[in-house]
Amino acid sequence: MENKLFVVITVIAVIFLGISILLISLDCKLTRIEKEQNKKSE
Amino acid sequence: MKNMWWKIAGLVLVLYSLIAGLLIRVPDLPVIHESIRNIFYHVCMWFNLLILLSISCINAVRYLAGFNEKFDLRSVEAASTGVFFGLLGLVTGSIWARFSWGVFWTNDPQLNGASASMLIYGAYFVLRKSVNDEEKRARISAVYNIFAYVMMIIFLLILPKLAQGSVHPGKGGNPMALTDLDATMRLVFYPAVVGWIFVGIWIYQIKLRIRIAKEINGL
Amino acid sequence: MVSEVWYLLRKDLLLELRRMHHLNGMLLFVLGTVFMCFLSFQPGLEPEKWNALFWIIQLFAAVHATGHSFSGEHPNRHIYYYSIASPGAILLSKTIYNFILLFITGMGSYGVFWLLLGSPVSNVPGFIVTIVIAALGFSSILTLVAAIAWRSEHHFSLMAILSFPVMYPFMIALIKTSLIWVGNGGAQSLPGLMLLLILISFLALALAFILFPYLWKE
């Protein structure tokens, strides 16, 4: 019973960490793109 | 990454609530039992929905004040992120209802309010699709956004008072209300709410920035 | 402002009196729908269902009636109105016109219901007051939605999609209020509900008054 619970928690945590990494990478990529666009417009 | 601290804080808080929400000891209440843990996940979706739709409405007002296209983009992206969280809220609520009351859907003020707001913003997106001229689309949909938001708030406020009973906490003889949450549950519930709000606003900002980057590149 | 509203309203009413196309259309619509219900609900209706059916048919009729508020006229004439009247006056005159139209339609449909489906209404004056308040709320909410739908290109299909979700709070309170006058009556407090209906109507009217200029200008 206890083991099952920890498996569930691990799966949820891994999925959430995946989503977090996706969000962070998107954010970084956008920051880079925005910098380039700012340079271009100047 | 700009302004990192609150984004990371949001992620950490949500992760904490996901894990702690399943591990802590919860009071064993009739009808809901262990499913009470869903409060950490389900309720946060509704907070996010309301906050994002409010952002959408505020930006609609700001659009009408100066006809700056920037605010129209903000308004529509906030609305679509809000609707996304609303759908998540409906799904988590529906699963919860299935396990504690045996049905997926009941005639309940909160549920009705939620589905009404989904329909309102569904109509909002249909309206946006049906106008071709950009400036006109922004103007008309901002007007509808403000009007519909006010009607939605009225609906959410009056429904519980008009309804006879509710399956939601604190009403119709249900065991508990949000205000008398168990002390350990508060330790998870408040961080969960704050964390999800941060993450919700972050997702909205990312969507908005993608949209703006695409517009500039002419995609 | 008042004189502008009055002139525009008189123009609409005179046109309507001369042609009678809106009113006759509405009454025929109600007659047709209620007759359909008469054929469908053969063993008769319980008061609660009668009440709900009455207001839902009223809502459909109102959406239908107000949908033509702006699209019924030639675009060139709108440019003319734009040059002579303020947007607020145009909105108010249209709202008052819709109010009159919806009140007559409401009374007419009550008559048709009474003829075909019987009348479980236990307090007739109270029910008529509810029809007046309903006409007020319908006209103040739907006139703005009609203007929005008219501004987008596909106004007829959009009218129903846009108006139903914003009508929910008004409709649910309206059906509860009207249930007090129908059959045995509900247990809800009457003054509160009436106040709520009037409050929603005037809030909608105030919002429409503020927002309409943004739709009106080209």
What is the predicted pLDDT for the residue at B58?
Answer: 94
In three-state secondary structure terms, C123 is coil
* Beta carbon pairs, A and B, within 8 Å: 47
d(CA C92, CA C101): 14
**What's the pLDDT tens digit per position in C181-208?**
886 655 556 777 888 889 889 999 999 9
What is the predicted pLDDT for the residue at C43?
Answer: 75
Nearest Cα residue to C92 out of C199, C216, C218:
C216
What is the predicted pLDDT for the residue at B162?
Answer: 65
Q: Where are the alpha helices (DSSP H) in B101-133?
A: 109-130
What is the predicted pLDDT for the residue at A36?
Answer: 84
Q: What is the dihedral of CA C100, C103, C108, C111, to 10 degrees?
A: -150
d(CA A39, CA B20): 45
Q: Where are the alpha helices (DSSP H) in B67-108?
A: 69-100
Nearest Cα residue to C170 out of C63, C34, C46:
C63
Residue of B nearest to C161 (CA): B123
Average pLDDT score over chain B: 80
**What's the pLDDT tens digit per position in C110-136?**
998 888 888 888 788 888 999 999 999
On the question of pLDDT at B170 being above 50, the answer is no
Mean pLDDT across C75-82 = 76
What is the predicted pLDDT for the residue at B145?
Answer: 92
Q: Answer for the pair C137, C100: CB distance below 8 angstroms, yes or no.
A: no
- Angle, helices C124-151/C190-216, rounded to nearest 10 degrees: 20
The tally of CA atoms less than 13 A away on the side-chain side of residue B185 is 18
**What's the pLDDT tens digit per position in A18-37?**
988 998 888 888 888 888 88
B contact set with C (CB within 8 A): 64, 116, 119-120, 122-123, 126-127, 130-132, 136, 139-140, 142-144, 146-148, 150-151, 154-155, 158-159, 162
DSSP B131: -
Label residue C74 exposed, middle or buried (CB < 10 Å: 0-12, 13-18, 19+). exposed
ipTM: 0.86
Q: Among the listed ranges B82-91, C16-25, C68-77, which one has the minimum average pLDDT value?
A: C68-77
Query: Which residues does C89 contact at the CB level (< 8 Å), separation at least 6?
Result: C1, C4, C5, C8
d(CA C133, CA C198): 7
Nearest Cα residue to B119 out of C142, C160, C161:
C161
Mean pLDDT across B132-136 = 85
- Percentage, residues of chain C above pLDDT 90: 20
What is the predicted pLDDT for the residue at B157?
Answer: 77
Amino acid identity, position B23: L
The answer to whether residue C148 neighbours chain B at the CB level (below 8 Å) is yes
d(CA C124, CA B164): 26
Phi, psi (degrees; rounded to nearest 5) at A27: -60, -45
Band (pLDDT 50/70/90 cuts) for residue A5 is confident
In three-state secondary structure terms, B75 is helix
d(CA B31, CA B24): 19
d(CA B40, CA B180): 15
Mean pLDDT across B163-178 = 47
What is the predicted pLDDT for the residue at C103?
Answer: 93
Of A13, A26, A28, the CB nearest to B19: A13
Q: Write down the pTM of the prediction.
A: 0.85
On the question of pLDDT at B91 being above 80, the answer is yes
* Domain parsing of chain A, residue ranges: 1-35
* Domain parsing of chain B, residue ranges: 4-217
- Angle, helices B39-66/B69-100, rounded to nearest 10 degrees: 160
End-to-end alpha-carbon separation of chain C, Å?
Answer: 21
Amino acid identity, position B61: V
Whether C contacts B, i.e. 3 or more CB pairs less than 8 A apart, is yes
**Looking at CA atoms only, how far is residue B214 from chain A in angstroms?**
10
On the question of pLDDT at B56 being above 90, the answer is yes
Residue-wise DSSP of C15-80: HHHHH-HHHHHHHHHHHHHHHHHHHH-TT---HHHHHHHHHHHHHHHHHHHHTHHHHTS-HHHHHH
B30 phi-psi bin (left φ>0, alpha ψ -120 to 50, beta other): beta
Q: Among the listed ranges B145-149, B196-200, C176-180, which one has the minimum average pLDDT value?
A: C176-180
Average pLDDT score over chain C: 84
What is the predicted pLDDT for the residue at B172?
Answer: 39
More confident residue, C169 or B173: C169
d(CA B13, CA B19): 10
DSSP B35: G
Residue of C nearest to B164 (CA): C188
What is the predicted pLDDT for the residue at B12?
Answer: 86
Q: Answer for the pair B146, C209: CB distance below 8 angstroms, yes or no.
A: no
Band (pLDDT 50/70/90 cuts) for residue B81 is very high
DSSP B2: -
What is the predicted pLDDT for the residue at C192?
Answer: 76
Of B206, B213, B216, the CB nearest to A27: B206
Band (pLDDT 50/70/90 cuts) for residue B175 is very low
- Angle, helices B109-130/B39-66, rounded to nearest 10 degrees: 40
**What's the pLDDT tens digit per position in B5-46?**
888 888 888 888 888 877 777 666 666 666 777 777 888 888
Q: Answer for the pair B150, C203: CB distance below 8 angstroms, yes or no.
A: yes
Q: Among the listed ranges B124-138, C86-100, C163-177, C188-202, which one has the minimum average pLDDT value?
A: C188-202
Residues of C in contact with B110 (CB under 8 A): none
Phi, psi (degrees; rounded to nearest 5) at C119: -130, 105
Contact B143/C211, CB-based, under 8 Å?
yes
